[in-house]
Each structure stands twice: as C-alpha cells, then as structure tokens.
Structure 1
C-alpha cells in the first residue's frame, strides 16, 4: 500500500510537471518571437529550466507512485544539490551586493552612481567588454531613456527635479561633475574647466550612444541589480523552504519504497 508521503510527493511533482510544461511553452514562444540578444538569452535559459524541471518531476512522479526506489533516490540527490546550491547562491548574492549606494545630491531628484562603490567581483563582470556589450545591447533594446529624450520642453531646473531610476541617472545623462548644461533635450559642455571624469568624454547626445559606455551607467546597472536582489531575497527564502519540505517528504517516500520492496522480497 502506498503511504501518504508517496502520494504527497507524487501530487507535488504533478504540479511541478505542469509548471515545467508552461515554462517550456514560454521558452518556445520566445524562440519564435524573440529577436533581440536579451530575448535570445532568456529563451535559452527558460527552455533549460523547463527541461530540467520536467525531468526532475517525471523522476519524482514515477519514483513515488510506481515504487521505483533508484529513481526516487536520484530525485532526492538532485533535490539535495538544489537545496545546497540555492543556499550558496543566496549567501553569495548577499555578499556581492552588500556594498554600493547612490550619492544623494542637494537640490536634485536623482542620485549619482560611482562604479568604485560596488564590490570588486561585480566591477570585474561589467568591466569585461564582452559582458558589457551584451548588457548594453539589452539596455538599448529596453529604451530606458526614451521618455527623457522625447520631452524637449523641460529646462535644466525641471530636469533636476525628476525622480530618475539608477539606470536612468547613470545611462541617460552625463555625470554632474562634467558641468554640462541641459536645454531642449540635449546636453552641451559648459564653461567650467573640464573634469577628469572619463564619463564626460564618453557622453554623446546620440540616442544610440548617450552614456551607455560610461562608468556611471555600469554603476547604475549594478545598483539596479542590488535592488532586484533585495526583492528576490524573499522569494529565494520561500523557494528554499519549499524545497526542504519536499525533500523531507521525498525521504519518507524513499523509506516507504525500501520497506515495501523489502516486505515483497521477504514475503513474495
């Protein structure tokens, strides 16, 4: 007789099996309709997650409901590795995103972001030309600066009162220490002595360039990652707890299978 834990692990994996089909469907849809590099990355990641979840779910369902102990054992090994990896990923994420914050400016509605304020590991990732080329392509495709470029009526005082996100502040305008002046949607060099900030030379009013090559844009991207990580932290903890519960139930199902098989061998 299949015990409660076997039934429960089977039901849980049926739900995850359905979820894997939905994820796979999303990945296939992206592969048919995606055209940008960002969409290409997400479609591959989505399909990979969907296939992995599908295989794990099938192993869990067959192992628990059909009493296949070796398949359930394999399922438990994978679940254990997932629990360990998710725990390590959470700790690593907190460590690398612990440093860095925007600098508040007097009379400004936005903050300034400096790449050197963030962890060395993150700095190395965005300073890699290959990595940043992909990130820059994603930022350009997202058109984060579009609404700022379209507003030609705002003067510099009105622009300074804007509540800009870290990406908008870092990528859509020059750094404040460059001394540029704003008018009719364009920034021009002022009369102040040139700053030694390399971002000042990297800035360009061309909508395709702006400050996407600036250190401030990289810092704004990292600050955005930090903010996203804080929001993801709660979800990660919830998923980790759920995995631990499923793993515990799976262990009970595995023990039930062994006891059932031992009983059949003893009393055929």
Structure 2
C-alpha cells in the first residue's frame, strides 16, 4: 500500500515537471521584442505553467503524506488546468490561423496586409491608446537599427541589393521602410525620398525618415507585427499542445494509481476488521 502511494506521488511529481516547458515557453515569448511590447500571451502561459507546477507538487505531497483531501483537490485542480491549457492551445491556433505575406513587384521580401489577420488580434492592437504604447516600445527596440547594420555588412546597402533581400523579418518589412506601393526612392534601408506625387494611402503619408517614427504609425507595421507574433505564437503553441496531451496522459495514470491505492487500503482495512 505504501508503494502504491509512492507511485502516486512520483506520477504527480512528473506532472509538476511537465510545467517546466510551459513556463519556459512563456519566458521565451517575454524575451522576444515584439511580444515584450504587446504583452498578450506570455503572462497567461507563465501563469498556467506555475499553476500546474503548484498543483503537481501539492498532489505529490498529498500522496507522500497520504492526505486524501489534498489528493482530491489536486485531481480537481489538475483536470481544470489541463482543460485550460488545451483550451489556450486551441485558441492560439485559431487566432493565428490567418496569415499574410504578399510579394511586391521587383522585391524578394514580402509585405503584409492588416486585413488578413483575425479580428481578435487586430482588436488587441486597436484598443484605445494601445498602439501608441506598442509603437513607442517598438521604436526603442533594435529592430530597424539591426536592419541597417545587416544591410551594411552584406550586399543590401544598395537599392538592388536591398530589393533582393529575402531575409527581412515581417516586423522590419512593415515598420522600417515605406510600403513598395508608395513609390519612395531608396537611399538606405531606413531613409527614403518621397515621390513628387505620393499615393493616396495613409501609410504613404505616415512614413517618416526620423528614427523614432519610420513607419510605426502605418497599418503595414501592425501587419508585420502580427505576422511576427504569429510565427512565435505558433512555436509556443506546439509546446502547449504537446504538454496538454502529456499532462492528460499523466493525469489519467495518476487517477488509476490513486484508485488502486485506495482500493488496496480499503481491502487492507477489511482484512484487519475480518481478522
């Protein structure tokens, strides 16, 4: 009987260990400049990971010290957390299902359209005052300065070389240069000469050669940000989905082991009473 409870404790401890990838995914998201500016997904992921860790340790302690009330609380809490984790993984998959990235004439890099993304994601950026804070944060990141340095170190310092640069990130494509349709003339990757007759497009009027402005007020910048977020969220979502499946399997084994331990205990008490 003691061995059965030790097995339950070990299984519950394994559930606690499964929180580590979830917490790591949340921390990784928080270290990405775009996610650090938006702050939507990383904190729910970290909070869920910490909750799974706490529940797993509580369940392990309850089994080790044979505290049925704590074990029952663990079973209820862990089931809720597994469902929450699976629900979050499904939600992230759903809101990132839409993608963008369209070729521009004479360009190797892609450009992005805000209307291609889910309404939920766009609403997060368009909340009152939200984009002002996000674009200020983005302007403080090395996103565009890295573009200049990479271009200068390679063969993208000229117009021909820059237009052939397929390595631009969505965020750099959307925020650090004017959209191709605006007809600006290349000088450097982040310095462009306005055409005599600019296109009647809000993004074309929003572009500025000032480092603090660039195209951070452009819809193309929002689209590039969402494409960047999509790639990072999809990678984190794989971890969430796999972890939820593993936790469900461990939870099922833990329920079986707990039931076996309780059955053995009842049988032992019956035998003691009979003798």
TM-score range, shorter chain: 0.7 to 0.9
Q: Cα deviation per residue 1:33-85 (whole Å; 9 max; x = unaligned)?
A: xxxx939x699778745753442133111122222122111111122112222
Counterpart-to-counterpart distance in 1, 2:192 and 2:232 = 30
Q: Which position in structure 2 is the counterpart of 1:246?
A: 250
| 1:133–1:52 distance in 2 versus 1, CA, 3 Å | farther
**Gap regions ≥5 residues in structure 2:** 27-34
Q: Cα deviation per residue 1:189-233 (whole Å; 9 max; x = unaligned)?
A: 012x32222111221112222112211111111112222233234
**Is the contact between residue 3 and residue 256 of structure 1 (CA under 8 Å) also seen in structure 2?**
no
- Alignment partner of 1:176 is 2:174: no
**Is the contact between residue 52 and residue 81 of structure 2 (CA under 8 Å) also seen in structure 1?**
no
Q: Cα deviation per residue 1:120-169 (whole Å; 9 max; x = unaligned)?
A: 11111111244334433443343111122345682222221112111110
| 1:88–1:14 distance in 2 versus 1, CA, 3 Å | closer
| 1:54–1:84 distance in 2 versus 1, CA, 3 Å | closer
- Alignment partner of 1:154 is 2:137: no
Q: Describe the SS at the equivalent of 1:173.
A: coil
The alignment's TM-score, normalised by the length of structure 1, stands at 0.80
Counterpart-to-counterpart distance in 2, 1:18 and 1:233 = 18
- Picking from 222, 227, 239, the partner of 1:223 is 227
**Is the contact between residue 110 and residue 160 of structure 1 (CA under 8 Å) also seen in structure 2?**
yes
**Gap regions ≥5 residues in structure 1:** 28-36
How well do the aligned residues superpose, as a CA RMSD in angstroms?
3.5
The alignment's TM-score, normalised by the length of structure 2, stands at 0.78
Q: Which position in structure 1 is the counterpart of 2:111?
A: 112
Flag as ranges the 4+ runs of structure 1 deviating above 6 A: 18-24, 41-47
Q: Describe the SS at the equivalent of 2:143.
A: coil
